[in-house]
């Protein structure tokens, strides 16, 4: 496993994607952080999308119906 030096931001040849988590952070702590982060994020994902965004999406969808694409009209 090649070791990225975490201090540098130089563009060395990219290490393989398998070189994963920091050695410096205890794996158990890292797992706790990961779980906490996902818990936080899942809470946000579960929030209802506010009306103004739903209205925008509905408008875009309606616009699409009025101005169908070429591929859909077969032109």
User: ∠ CA(70), CA(71), CA(72), 5° rounding?
Assistant: 90
Q: What would the x/- binding string for other proteins be over residues 15 to 54, using CB under 8 A?
A: x-x-x-xx-xxx--xx-xxx-xxxxxx-xxxxx-xx-xxx
Beta carbon of residue 51, minimum distance to other proteins (angstroms, whole number)? 10
1 binds other proteins (CB under 8 A): no
Q: Which two tokens stand for residue 52?
A: 């103004």
Neighbouring CB atoms inside 10 A of 19's CB total 11
Q: Please give the torsion angle defined by the CA atoms of residues 21, 24, 29 and 30, in that order, rounded to the nearest 10 degrees.
A: -20
d(CA 49, CA 47): 6
74 is a site residue for other proteins (CB under 8 A): no
Which positions lie near other proteins, rule CB under 8 A?
A: 4, 6-9, 11-12, 14-15, 17, 19, 21-22, 24-26, 29-30, 32-34, 36-41, 43-47, 49-50, 52-54, 56-57, 60-61, 63-64, 67-72
């Amino acid at each position: 496993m090649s070791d990225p030096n975490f201090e540098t931001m130089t563009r060395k040849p990219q290490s393989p994607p398998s070189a994963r988590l920091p050695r410096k952070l205890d794996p158990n702590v890292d797992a706790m952080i990961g779980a906490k982060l996902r818990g936080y994020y899942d809470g946000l994902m579960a929030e209802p999308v506010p009306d103004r965004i739903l209205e925008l999406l509905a408008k875009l969808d309606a616009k699409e119906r009025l101005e169908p694409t070429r591929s859909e009209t077969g032109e």
